[in-house]
Amino acid sequence: MALLDVEGLRVTFGGLHAVDGLSTSVREGSIKGIIGPNGAGKTTLFNAIAGIQRLSQGMITLEGRRIETLKPFQRAKLGLARTFQNLQIFPELSLIENVMIGCHPKAQASGFIASMLGTPRTREEERRIEATAYAKLALLGMADRAMSLAGNLSFGESKLLEIARALAADPKVLMLDEPIAGVPASEQAPIARMIRQVNAQGVTVVLVEHNMRMVMGLCDEILVLRSGRFLAEGTPAEISSNPEVIGAYLGQPLEETVDA
């Protein structure tokens, strides 16, 4: 059974169908790539799945449960996490604070009164959240810099930090919108490694990226969109040799790709 399933999804802006009757599914444990030209609807699809963009039609199912009417935080609680195409980190907060923002407090211990009073339960909760955030930073090899300001990070490190924050809630599905866009080539490999590692630990990944080397190297399956519509779906080998995809997006057949 698919972990995440989208059926007949449509998102309309004025007269424009940014996503137009799209159906696809994401297998548990896989890395699924979504590619397509600028304006194809990739980010809009993410927004619709995450619940920050209203659908005009369609169904979204997570683990067999319909989620398209749920609020974004409810979907997050069920296991969806995402990063944004434009970097969203807080430069004046420390690395650990940036990651802690992504941690879910356990409902019973997070009451307003309890946190005002600083009861043992909330302190314990804070320690739990901090430990989770440290663990995510350690995954990046950044635990030793937990207290330094995020503003001091390079762009590539900032993108990694953003992924760590998305992981802080221990999601089932991690949706990454262009994780290496604008990242210098020398800083791309750690991000690809991180994605692979996170996936190896059981997190299903949905990856939007224009860097074909990364997409072809990392993904098990790729969906190609054009003008909000399904153009093709298949393995990296199938997609990189599909004449329609080459015509609409890739331009020319890809060379052998290097493992990310």
Ligand X SMILES: Nc1ncnc2c1ncn2[C@@H]1O[C@H](COP(=O)(O)OP(=O)(O)OP(=O)(O)O)[C@@H](O)[C@H]1O
Position 18 contacts ligand X (CB under 6 A) = yes
Using the rule CB under 5 A, is 83 a contact of Mg ion?
no
Q: Does 73 bind ligand X (CB under 6 A)?
A: no
Residue 238: strand, helix, or coil: helix
Counting contacts by CB under 5 A, is residue 43 touching Mg ion?
Answer: yes
Between 45 and 260, whose beta carbon lies closer to ligand X? 45
User: Which residue lies nearer to Mg ion by CB, 167 or 225?
Assistant: 225
Is the Cα torsion angle 239, 240, 242, 243 positive or negative in sign? positive
Q: Are 174 and 166 in contact (CB under 8 A)?
A: yes
Considering only 1, 15, 38, 107, the residue that binds ligand X (CB under 6 A) is 38
Nearest distance from C-beta of residue 251 to ligand X, angstroms = 15
Q: Computed from CA positions of residues 115, 171, 2, 60, in that sequence, does the dihedral angle turn out positive or negative?
A: positive
Which of 44/98 has CB closer to ligand X?
Answer: 44
Rounded to 5 degrees, what angle do the CA atoms 96, 103, 118 make? 85
Of 122, 161, 118, the residue nearest 139 (C-alpha) = 161
How far apart, in whole angstroms, are the C-alpha atoms of residue 137 and residue 96? 7
Q: 168 vs 249, which CB is nearer to ligand X? A: 249
Stretch that binds ligand X, among 2-10, 42-50, 100-108, 139-147 (CB under 6 A): 42-50
Shortest approach of ligand X to residue 185 CB, angstroms? 20
Closer Cβ to ligand X, 37 or 111, answer by number: 37
Per CB under 5 A, 242 contacts Mg ion = no
**Which of these ranges, 24-32, 85-93, 110-118, 247-255, lies near Mg ion under the rule CB under 5 A?**
85-93
Is residue 13 within the footprint of ligand X (CB under 6 A)?
A: yes
Nearer to ligand X, 16 or 237 (CB): 16
**Residue pair 169/81 in contact by the 8 Å Cβ criterion:** yes
234 φψ region: left (φ > 0), alpha (ψ -120 to 50), beta (else): left
Q: Closest distance between Mg ion and the C-beta of residue 17, in Å?
A: 16
Q: In the complex, what is the shortest distance from the CB of residue 211 to ligand X, in angstroms, rounded to a whole number?
A: 12
Return the residue of 25, 57, 61, 85 that touches ligand X, per CB under 6 A: 85
- DSSP H helices, the chain, are 42-50, 72-77, 95-100, 112-117, 120-139, 155-167, 188-200, 212-218, 236-240, 243-245
**Site for ligand X (CB under 6 A): which residue of 41, 156, 171, 179?**
41
- Which of Mg ion, ligand X, none is residue 13 near (CB under 5 to 8 Å by kind)? ligand X
Q: State in angstroms the smallest separation of the CB of 14 from ligand X.
A: 7
Are 249 and 242 in contact by the 8 Å Cβ rule? The answer is: no
Interface residues toward ligand X, by CB under 6 A? 13, 16, 18, 36, 38-44, 85
